[in-house]
Amino acid sequence: MEITLDNVKKVITDVLKIDGSDITPETRFIEDLKADSMDQFFLIDGFSEAFNVTISDEQAKEIKTVGDVIRVLSK
């Protein structure tokens, strides 16, 4: 699966059970989407599964925004 904003938004909306119409690359997980630590764990797991990649703990710590997810997954 190609790593695009739409594909990343699909994972976010599925995991957080939210409407993703206002999600942009600048959207922050904690401040804007109110994701707690458990949500963040499930998001990382969801991204790993959806894009068939392994996200290290160091990479996960870098992820603060939707754009960060795209950047990390595109490496």
User: pLDDT by residue (tens digit) across 18-72?
Assistant: 999 999 999 999 999 999 999 999 999 999 999 999 999 999 999 999 999 999 9
| pLDDT confidence band for 2 (50 / 70 / 90) | confident
What total of structural domains would you count in the chain? 1
3-state secondary structure of 65: strand
Prediction pTM value: 0.93
Which domain CATH number covers 19?
Answer: 1.10.1200.10
State the Cα–Cα distance between residues 64 and 75, nearest whole angstrom. 16
- Residue 1 in this model has a pLDDT that exceeds 80: no
Q: Which pLDDT belongs to residue 75?
A: 85
Q: In this structure, what token pair is assigned to residue 40? A: 């963040």
Q: Which domain holds residue 16?
A: 5-74
Give the phi and the psi of residue 65 in degrees, each rounded to 5: -130, 170
Contact 30, 67 (CB under 8 A): no
Measuring CA to CA, which residue among 64, 55, 73 is closest to residue 25? 64
